Amino acid sequence: MDLTSCVQQAENSVCCEIEDRTVLLNVAAGKYHGFNEVATRIWQLISAPRTVNSICDELMSEFDISQEQCEAEVVEFLQKLKAAELITIS
């Protein structure tokens, strides 16, 4: 995965937002995942296909974070979502 990769939510999950957090159920695996405010925002942004770069641009406009740190943390988080089969990458 790199900054030009396009990611989006996989269809095998159900989510519920509670205040500034999201609880997600991977239906196929039967596993729950909890997201903090930033992870919730990323999840919202990838409801439709979006490049990693555009996700970072949006987050940097909303949160006080450097480009380098944002890119590293977003890629790391998306890799975890991929491992949990919660996103697709093209």
Phi-psi region of 19 (alpha: psi -120 to 50; beta: other; left: phi over 0): left
* pLDDT for residue 64: 94
Parse the chain into domains and list their residue ranges: 6-89
Query: How big is the chain by its Cα radius of gyration, in Å?
Result: 12
pLDDT digits (tens, 9 = 90+) for 18-45: 887 889 888 888 888 999 999 999 999 9
CA 85 to chain centre: 12
Amino acid of residue 15: C
> Is 6-89 assigned to CATH 3.90.930.60?
yes
* pLDDT for residue 86: 92
16 confidence band (pLDDT: 50, 70, 90): confident
* pLDDT for residue 17: 84
Q: Are 81 and 87 in contact (CB under 8 A)?
A: yes
12 confidence band (pLDDT: 50, 70, 90): confident
Rounded Cα gap, residues 39 and 36, in angstroms: 5
Mean per-residue pLDDT of the chain:
92
